[in-house]
């Protein structure tokens, strides 16, 4: 093995919202090391594959979805992080909108959604990776538009507020939240409403990507 030659894996922190709670997808390892322990989904980077491509491929393999929000997080390179030998982990985080239906095989005994703020012990240094992803997600939520990635295309303002609350872990004032979001002018109010039970139907909105650049100009998009 020549100088600097190591194996490179991608590990993905896949977030979604279920019943208003932020969840993360974990896989139960079938082989040592850490057999039967929960771990982040991931795998080795192939020969001629970019890191992003490897992350997308793993994501597709685990969940059956493509075309999702995916962003590189951090690279973990402690020589002892994997007992099998030197494995570099390039971590990513992904956001799945809650409407997405995942391949069967997700959410079985060996692949389950866990509340992100209440995950079990994890293999390797995956706890560190998860914590890092949570920090990043919280910050990006407030400074970028990633929040929308956790929702279906059409959503109500209350649903959007629930996303913010689930990620930030605190309650927000309904009036202030709405004022702030609407002032950004990044939502398109639709003529549709959603009947969601016995109460007054809520207006639906869409994220309006055409004004994305507006925000960038105002320094509101965080370029990481």
List residues near a copy of itself by CB under 8 A. 1-9, 44-52, 72, 74-79, 86, 88, 90, 135-136, 139, 222-224
Kindly state the smallest distance separating residue 152's Cβ from DNA, in Å. Answer: 14
Q: Which does 134 bind (CB under 5 to 8 A by kind): DNA, a copy of itself, none?
A: none
Kindly state the smallest distance separating residue 165's Cβ from a copy of itself, in Å. Answer: 16
Q: Which does 130 bind (CB under 5 to 8 A by kind): a copy of itself, DNA, none?
A: none
Chain centroid to CA 216: how far? 22
Kindly state the smallest distance separating residue 140's Cβ from DNA, in Å. Answer: 17
| Site for DNA, rule CB under 7 A | 156-158, 173-176, 178-180, 193, 195-203
Q: Which does 79 bind (CB under 5 to 8 A by kind): a copy of itself, DNA, none?
A: a copy of itself
Identity of the residue, 46 or 99, whose beta carbon is nearer to a copy of itself in the bound complex = 46
DSSP 1: -
Kindly state the smallest distance separating residue 69's Cβ from DNA, in Å. Answer: 24
Identity of the residue, 15 or 92, whose beta carbon is nearer to a copy of itself in the bound complex = 92
Q: 109 is written with which tokens?
A: 């005994």
Furthest C-alpha separation in the chain: 67
d(CA 108, CA 212): 38
Q: Which does 7 bind (CB under 5 to 8 A by kind): a copy of itself, DNA, none?
A: a copy of itself
Compute the chain's Rg from CA coordinates: 19
Identity of the residue, 89 or 161, whose beta carbon is nearer to a copy of itself in the bound complex = 89
Q: What are the backbone angles phi and psi of residue 25, rounded to the nearest 5°?
A: -85, 130
Identity of the residue, 51 or 172, whose beta carbon is nearer to DNA in the bound complex = 172
Q: Which does 195 bind (CB under 5 to 8 A by kind): a copy of itself, DNA, none?
A: DNA
Q: Provide DSSP, 77-102.
A: --TTSSTTS-EEEEEEEEE--TTPPP
d(CA 101, CA 53): 22
Sort strands 111-115 and 21-28 into parallel, antiparallel or unpaired: antiparallel
Identity of the residue, 62 or 82, whose beta carbon is nearer to a copy of itself in the bound complex = 82
Which residue, 157, 199, 191, 196, is CA-closest to 174? 157
Chain centroid to CA 52: how far? 15
Q: Is 113 within 8 Å of 107 (Cβ atoms)? A: yes
Kindly state the smallest distance separating residue 162's Cβ from DNA, in Å. Answer: 9
Please identify which residue in the block is written with the tokens 């982990």: 89
Q: What are the backbone angles phi and psi of residue 43, rounded to the nearest 5°?
A: 180, 180
Kindly state the smallest distance separating residue 220's Cβ from DNA, in Å. Answer: 10
């Amino acid at each position: 093995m020549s100088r600097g030659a190591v194996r490179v894996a991608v590990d993905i922190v896949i977030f979604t919202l279920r019943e208003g709670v932020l969840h993360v997808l974990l896989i139960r390892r079938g082989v040592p090391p850490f057999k039967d322990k929960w771990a982040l989904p991931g795998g080795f980077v192939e020969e001629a594959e970019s890191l992003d491509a490897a992350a997308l491929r793993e994501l597709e393999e685990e969940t059956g979805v493509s075309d999702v929000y995916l962003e590189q997080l951090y690279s973990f390179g402690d020589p002892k992080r994997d007992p099998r030998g030197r494995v570099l982990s390039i971590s990513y985080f992904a956001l799945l909108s809650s409407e997405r239906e995942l391949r069967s095989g997700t959410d079985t005994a060996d692949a389950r959604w866990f509340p992100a703020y209440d995950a079990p012990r994890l293999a390797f240094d995956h706890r560190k990776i998860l914590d890092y992803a949570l920090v990043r997600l919280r910050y990006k939520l407030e400074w970028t538009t990633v929040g929308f990635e956790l929702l279906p295309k059409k959503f109500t303002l209350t649903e959007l507020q629930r996303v913010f609350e689930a990620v930030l872990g605190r309650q927000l004032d309904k009036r202030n939240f709405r004022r702030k979001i609407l002032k950004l002018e990044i939502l398109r109010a639709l003529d549709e409403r959603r009947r969601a039970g016995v109460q007054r139907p809520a207006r639906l909105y869409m994220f309006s990507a055409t004004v994305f650049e507006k925000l960038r100009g105002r320094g509101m998009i965080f370029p990481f």
